[in-house]
Chains A and B, each alone.
Chain A
Amino acid sequence: MAQAQAQTTHAETQAHGGAHEDVGFPPFATETYGGQLLWLVITFGVLYTLMSKLVLPRLTGIIENRRVIIARDLDEAVAMKTRAEEAGSAYEKALAEAKGRAQALAQETRAKLAAESDAKRKALEADLNKRLAESEATISARKAEAMGHVRGIARDTASAIIERLTGKAPAPQAIESALDQINA
């Protein structure tokens, strides 16, 4: 088959190219196989050795090194995140405590102020009540006093009216008794 293919290609070559040296079909030129194989074995052998001993260890070393560093950095990041979260929760706790303390303090202050104002109000009320009682006492005293005067006025007025009507002053006892009668 190889022979036949070589022949056809040869024929085509003739048709295309025209007059030049007969080259045959190089890939089927068996006399070159030995040399090609020899150099392929040498070259590929050296290539394989250099790749497996020199190039690939270096390349995988770089990649592995990066993998290790990235893994370590990720671990560190996780640890830092945990620490940050811890700090966050500690802060929250401190904040809650401070809030609680502030609330207690406010409560206390409010209670104290309320008690103070209560006491003041009570004192004021007591004072006012006292003054009210005093005023009432004064008023009733004045009223009694005024009422006492009313009797005197009535007596004087009555004696003046009678004196004018009759021409002579009535007996003070008669007016007194008349007044007692009215009052009774």
Chain B
Amino acid sequence: MASPIEQFQIKPIIPAINFTNSSLFMIGAAAVIVGGFMLATRKRALVPGRGQSIAEILHDFVAGTLTDATGKEGMKFFPLVFSLFMFVFTANMLGMIPGFFTVTSHIIVTFALAILVIGTVVIYGLMKHGTHFFGLFVPSGVPAWLLPFIVVIEVISFLSRPVSLSLRLFANMLAGHIALKVFGGFVVALLGAGGALAILAPLPLIMAVALMALEFLVAALQAYVFTVLTCIYLNDALHPGH
């Protein structure tokens, strides 16, 4: 029986260019996204078919999330937010297929995506508002003696954003896949033990099926959470005043 964490193993495919199973599934996710959208919108129909409806619903959903958090001017970040949402969502969903590698179960990937978000916030905020951007750390209406503490807390909370953003996604994907693997492993172990124990084998199987449903929910939900938080952080870049 395989270890529950073996599924997260990075396996080289073309070592010369560092091409691994992770790289393959990243490219797979991107190909599914771009190919899927191009296929769905190929007719450019006025009355959308099934595929085009899904594409348009995804577009309106992400656009709605972005404009709710940042207002109309946030739409300049739409390609970034939409790409992020689709990439995380597709990577999570591809990972649900048995035997497939989950790109987002690696902290370095989620951390890099979180840094991309925070980097965008900081660079855009500084370019747009200059030093006024640091007003983000100085809430108005706070007594002067309290201000140093508040500023320290605000700075720490700002710095912890990429950490919490990346850890949340990473930990959810990792824990879910481990739990699935563990329950799957129980089924095999009980069957292998034979006799009375083999009769109990369906119990963890039922659990694994239930967990599978939960993991689909988590895969979609974490992609959404990542996107919502991205939108909220981008709002700080657009409107830094507290």
Contact = CB atoms under 8 A, between A and B. Distances in A.
A43 B34 contact: no
B59 interface: yes
Given A33-B108, A59-B59, A63-B59, A26 B26 contact: no
Nearest to B106: A27
A92 B80 CA distance: 60
Given A35-B22, A37-B112, A47-B33, A23 B59 contact: no
Contact of A54 (B38, B45, B82): B38
Q: Is the interface of A mostly helix, strand, loop or mixed?
A: helix
A20 interface: yes
A47 B60 CA distance: 19
**Which of A34, A36, A38 is most buried by chain B, counting CB atoms within 10 A of its CB?**
A36
Contact of A27 (B44, B82, B87, B108): B108
Interface residues of A, number: 42
Contacts of A55: 33-34, 37-38, 41
Q: Is the interface of B mostly helix, strand, loop or mixed?
A: helix
Contacts of B174: 27
A44 B33 CA distance: 11
User: B interface, how many residues as a size bin?
Assistant: 35 or more
Interface in A11-37: 13, 16-18, 20, 23, 25-29, 32-37
A26 B79 contact: no
Interface in B37-72: 37-38, 41, 44-46, 48, 52, 55-56, 59-60
Interface of B: 1-6, 8-10, 18-20, 22-23, 26-27, 29-30, 33-34, 37-38, 41, 44-46, 48, 52, 55-56, 59-60, 78-80, 82-83, 86-87, 105-109, 112-113, 116, 170, 174, 182, 185
Interface of A: 9, 13, 16-18, 20, 23, 25-29, 32-41, 43-44, 46-48, 50-52, 54-56, 58-63, 65-66, 69
18 contacts: A17-B2, A26-B8, A26-B9, A26-B106, A27-B8, A27-B106, A27-B107, A27-B174, A32-B108, A35-B23, A39-B22, A40-B109, A43-B23, A51-B33, A55-B33, A59-B37, A61-B44, A63-B59
